[in-house]
Every structure is written in C-alpha cells, then in structure tokens.
Amino acid sequence: MKRNFFPFLLLAFFVFLGRSSSFAVPFEQSGLQPLAPNGVFSTFGASTLEAGKASAAVGFEMAKEPDFYRYSGHFAYAPTDSFEISASAPYVSDWEGKRSGFEDIVFGARHRFFSEGKYGPAVAYLIEVSPKSGRKEFSTDGHFGAGIIVSKRVGPVAGHLNFIYSIPGDRALENQIVLSGGLDFSAGHKFKILGEVYAKKSYYESKFDKVEARVGYRFLTTENLFTTFGVGFDLKDSTPEYRLFLSFTGVFPENKRVIKKITEEE
C-alpha cells in the first residue's frame, strides 16, 4: 500500500482548490522554471545535475484566451551533486495582440539536503530572486521567493510536490503561492509521459485563481538533448482556454562512452 500512496496524494492535494472564486489575472508571470530532465513542466524535482555539469534550454509557449506567445531561455549549473544554480529569462510577445517585452529575469538556487531512501522521499529547498528588469505590464518590480520540493520514485513513476511562496517588489500586489504536483512515467528507455497539476494564488488575487492540468511527453533526442512537448487546460475558468509547451534542453559536457578493447592472447 505504501508503494502506491504517493501518486494518489498528488491528485488529492489539489481537490479543494477548484472551489475558490475566479478572477481575471492581468498577466501571469512564469517565474523560475525547471530544466529537463529534473522537473516536469513547471514543477521542480529534487534531483539536480551532476557536479560540474551545466544545461541550457530554449522554450516556446502559446496560450489562447488570453492570446500571447512566450519565448524563454534557461540555464543551470551544478557545482556539486546536490546544489544547482539557475536562471530564466522569459520574453512575451503579442499579449492581447498589442504588447511585447521581457518579464523580470529570475535567478535561483536549489539544494537537495535529504536524499531519497527506500521509503523516504528526496527533499530540497529552492530560493529565487529577480531584480526589476521587465516591461511594466509584465513586471512585479522584482520578487523574492522560497519553497520546498519533495520527490519520490516508485518503479518507473517519479512524483514531485512543490510549495513556493513569493513576495513581489511592488507592495501594492499580493504575495504569491504556487502549489504544484507532477508525475513522469518512464514508458521507454528514451521516452517519458508527463502529467502535472499546477495551482497558483497569483500576485493579483487573495485566493487561488488558477488550477491547470498539463500533460505531455519528453524524449531523449540525442545522448544529451531532451525535447519536451505538452498541453495545458485551465480547470477553473478556462483562462487560458489552453496552452502549448515546447522546449529543447541540452546537458553538457556529454557523457563519454568507455569502450574496452578485449585482446586474445595466444
């Protein structure tokens, strides 16, 4: 029973959120985002890159009602096996057909202080900060945030829970809370099926105003390149009606294959 409990907890965790009142959010900041393979879409995993490795990603997002496009660049580097620093730089295009510009650039650090055991999960903390750097309509005058990440693998399924609390630089705004849970299922050697529930009490509302379900897949294109595709649907008030995600993530340096030569002695 213990082995099957964690995936069901991810779904039950969000049942109460759908009862909060709806609200039209002026703009939804994306914030710091995880890089494949250590995350789902916006949900972080407690795993980090191997020491000395780095990753870079480019992402594309299209949303419908409200209509906009988002292009983003991401970078991460791990000085140790349990500590990782990262950054995200999102650019919004054609928000409501007339506004384009950068969001605030976000810098973050993630440290796994408890490794996964036979029954216990891996646990990490996340700290993020952004200076005031984006266009006025897409900026919160910077922010500071902190959160907790819990991950557990059961067979081919890995589950992740995130709680992130953020304080905006603009004190006229509300503090933001993000609760998210994600699953990745290893359907093959180079292929994963992804699922995520993402809930947010945004900077513009005192109650949870977004509960979104996301599904998709990730595959290993080459030895060090991950391609992730997904679609999201809002479960509260269809804002947005749907969104599409596409990202490409490279991890470097690439692992070198060790080939042993066997010689036959006469």
pLDDT digits (tens, 9 = 90+) for 190-223: 999 999 999 999 999 999 989 999 999 999 999 8
Look at residue 3 and give its three-state secondary structure: helix
Band the pLDDT of 262: cuts 50, 70, 90.
low
**E strand map for 18-98:** 54-64, 68-77, 83-95
DSSP state of 27: -
Look at residue 74 and give its three-state secondary structure: strand
Band the pLDDT of 239: cuts 50, 70, 90.
confident
Residue with tokens 């990782």, as numbered in its chain:
84
Please give the Cα distance from 210 to 235 (Å, whole number). Answer: 8
What phi, psi does 68 have (nearest 5°)? -170, 165
pLDDT of 86 over the 60 cut: yes
Beta-bridge mates of residue 3: none
Tokens of 101: 């510009």
Band the pLDDT of 258: cuts 50, 70, 90.
low
Residues 216, 72, 156: CA angle, nearest 5 degrees: 30
**In the prediction, which pLDDT does 238 show?**
77
Domain 2-252 architecture: Beta Barrel (2.40)
Residues 258, 263, 266: CA angle, nearest 5 degrees: 170
